Chains A and B, each alone.
Chain A
């Protein structure tokens, strides 16, 4: 294994570890909130939709952190990393997390009837969708600095709002409950992701360190 590839893995892990405290805090707060809102300890199980949300959210957070490492491009290249290795390490880690999440969720879907394939597919599509937006935002933050950061936060806000309020409302439409729609969305998301990854590589290769 290439030493430089491993260096990049180490670097990205180091960056992600710095914010691991946030994840833990989030998880604890979420748990406390749910207990406060009346849930009983006995109800804690993975089938419960609240837990599924927390589970997915934790992993999505990890994915975002990994992808946001694009913003460290400048330091990484200045310290002498190859662009190839940084790109590979980043996506290796991202895909590792996505695959693990998908596998675990898939396992849960198989085991628990309460988690339908529909929900599973929507979750996958959402995970990929978030990654796509993060790739684009990370490049924006890199190019535009402060402004990019602000735009990223605004987008996060919108997504949060959408998930919170909008999804419930959309569920009125029967068609959205069929397996076809989310599956199609997932496939579309995969394709878009590949396109965006190619863009990311292009931007990285033509990046000039100022």
Chain B
């Protein structure tokens, strides 16, 4: 049984940039994790390293204490479903869907063929098509099917809904929950469509500029984040007292997003409007400025 996937001080340096600057992360089994971050924040790099598909410049990734790099026992329990983009699938890589599914069945030790077949049927995917000829939506669906049918304990999906329309996205969320309810597998999902998925995540991980900005239980996080607005004087008092982000001005009115520390509370004042913040708004407030 795989229980803990742990990253210690992961640094990844490329020729032209430092993608990850010392990331430490512990993932427990049985949860749905959400990973959000701007483009280029380092999400895909981190996920690739976590799943032993890429080697960190320094630092280590352990599954239940064992290093994952080139370790078959660990790799068998982690599935990383990348975005398959049509451009990268040239030449020999341009296989047909049914070939890709066959390949997946060769490599994933717990592959569930029945599930793969039924999902292919459900989403009406033509398995004889070459992957470069699939529409964005179908391609996303194929990567989702591979991830779900892999039945790996730790299943990582990198922007699974990127090519899907809203109806398909909702179908995916329901599929995910069904699978989670049935098997209790651990899922790590990175996405840009934050608000829809926010409610699915038991814990959310925010990656910013090669660092983990925070990793916290979603409900706990949202219970300590509020948007305050009112007169500039009142708001300035709050900004001095608490951790404030994304301060906005308009004339004499001012607004800010406040992130309280655990247990911190604000004295309610008549003149300051306090509203809860959505995960999306909080993310923009924390990572929007540059």
Q: Which residues of A contact B (CB under 8 A)?
A: 2-4, 7, 10-11, 14, 18, 68, 71-72, 74-85, 141, 145-146, 149, 208-210
Contact = CB atoms under 8 A, between A and B. Distances in A.
A65 to B, nearest CB: 11
B212 interface: no
Nearest first, the 10 closest Cβ-Cβ pairs linking A and B are A79-B107, A71-B92, A145-B90, A4-B72, A82-B70, A10-B106, A7-B106, A80-B75, A11-B106, A7-B107
B82 interface: yes
16 contacts: A3-B72, A3-B76, A11-B103, A14-B102, A72-B92, A72-B93, A75-B95, A75-B100, A78-B53, A80-B53, A81-B75, A81-B107, A82-B70, A82-B71, A149-B91, A210-B88
Contacts of A78: 53, 80, 82
Contacts of B93: 71-72, 74-75
Nearest to A71: B92
Contacts of A84: 70
A133 to B, nearest CB: 17
B161 to A, nearest CB: 19
Contacts of A141: 91-92
A149 B94 CA distance: 14
Contacts, number: 72
A145 B91 contact: yes
A80 B91 contact: no
B82 A80 contact: no
Nearest to B70: A82
A80 B103 contact: no
A208 B75 CA distance: 17
Given A2-B72, A82-B70, A83-B70, A75 B90 contact: no
Given A3-B76, A14-B106, A80-B79, 19 more contacts: A3-B72, A3-B109, A4-B72, A4-B107, A14-B102, A14-B103, A71-B92, A71-B93, A72-B93, A75-B95, A75-B103, A76-B103, A79-B108, A81-B107, A82-B70, A82-B72, A141-B91, A145-B91, A209-B82
A1 B10 CA distance: 33
B92 A80 contact: no
A149 B82 CA distance: 25
A74 B99 CA distance: 15
Nearest to B107: A79
Max chain B CB contacts within 10 Å: which of A18, A75, A84, A141?
Answer: A75
Contact of A82 (B75, B102, B109): B75
Nearest to B84: A78
Contacts of A210: 88
B107 A80 contact: yes
Nearest to A148: B91
Nearest to B78: A80
A74 to B, nearest CB: 6
Chain A CB count within 10 A is highest, among B71, B88, B103, B109, for: B103
B274 interface: no
A208 B82 CA distance: 13
Interface in B77-130: 78-80, 82, 88, 90-93, 95, 99-100, 102-104, 106-109
Nearest to A205: B55
A11 B104 CA distance: 10
B48 interface: yes
Contacts of B99: 18
Contacts of B103: 11, 14, 75-76, 79
Contacts of A68: 92
Contacts of B72: 2-4, 82, 85
B39 interface: no
